[in-house]
Homo-oligomer: A and B are copies of this chain.
Amino acid sequence: MRVVEEQPRARDANATKARILAAAKSEFARLGLAGARVDEIAMQASANKRMIYHYFGSKEDLFRAVLVEAYLDIRNAEQELELDHLPPREALERLVRFTWAYYLDNPEFITLVNSANLHRGKHLEKSERLRTASRRFVSMVQEILDRGVADDVFRPGIDPVQLNITIAAIGYYYLTNRFTGTILFERDFMESKALEDRLAFNIDTVMRLVLA
């Protein structure tokens, strides 16, 4: 007698791997490496826990895979900006707006990076793909700065890495510490007016930093 039954899922290694990775990203972002539970990741991925060990080897290696993917995602998004088609001022402002929007739209990126650094970066070692992507990103900013200096709108001698760090910092810090910030400073950090104000302040900060 054949009653209504769940179909066994079509077998698809790539899809299963992707579901595990997505569930892991969400759980590691929400609870950190130590706080996340492998069983919970398996459940969220609608996969068997054994599959996690089959595809990724260990909890730490899964975390490693999540981190690499998260970094490649943001570096890819940055490349799609095509800032070299814009005048230097517009290009830089667009980069500041993009960075801010990316953190807002991908809050798990921030907590993953925090977790990676809590563990002193040991899950990110020697990934040549990441280093290449970062190099390309720094060159992109360097080029904007060079064009700005040539046009006499930016002052010379600005280190593109320091500038990058600052652009990231002024958005990242506000968002990662929004909970303690909201409590200590008695204002809602996530209210839309507050977000607007912060973005405007950040654009102003960066422009005053680079303008000739």
A5-13, A83-91, A146-154, A198-206 - interface stretch: A198-206
Q: Specify the chain B residue showing the minimal Cβ separation from A116.
A: B180
Contacts of A34 in B (CB 8 A): 31-32, 34-35
Question: What is the distance, in angstroms, from A75's C-beta to the closest C-beta of chain B?
Answer: 9
User: Nearest residue in B to A122 (C-beta to C-beta)?
Assistant: B179
Contact (Cβ within 8 A) A198 B35: no
How far is it, in angstroms, between the C-alpha of A124 and the C-alpha of B121 when the chains are bound? 27
The answer to whether the Cβ of A111 comes within 8 Å of any Cβ in the partner chain is yes
| A178 CA to B173 CA, complexed, in Å | 14
- A118 and B111 within 8 A (CB): yes
Cβ of A205 to closest chain B Cβ, rounded Å: 5
Question: Main SS of the interface on chain A?
Answer: helix
A159 lies within 8 A of B118 (CB): no
Report whether B201 and A205 are in contact in the complex, using a CB–CB cutoff of 8 Å: no
Residues 166-181 of chain A: 1 if any B CB is under 8 Å from the residue's CB, otherwise 0?
1011101110111111
Does A4 interact with chain B (Cβ within 8 Å)? no
CA distance A118 to B35 in the complex (A): 11
Q: How many residues of A contact B (CB 8 A)?
A: 55
Chain B residue nearest in CB terms to A130: B184
Residues on B with beta carbons closer than 8 Å to the beta carbon of A71: 184
CB A51 to nearest CB in B, in angstroms, measures 24
In the docked arrangement, what's the CA distance between A115 and B180, Å? 10
- Residue from the list B35, B120, B197, B209 in contact with A162, Cβ < 8 A: B197
Beyond contacts A161-B185, A166-B170: 13 other A-B pairs, Cβ-Cβ < 8 A, are: A31-B118, A117-B178, A117-B180, A121-B182, A122-B179, A125-B183, A162-B197, A162-B201, A165-B173, A170-B170, A205-B205, A205-B209, A208-B208
Task: List A residues at the B interface (Cβ < 8 Å).
Answer: 31-35, 71, 111, 113-118, 120-122, 124-125, 127, 130-131, 134-135, 138, 159, 161-162, 165-166, 168-170, 172-174, 176-187, 197-198, 201-202, 204-205, 208-209
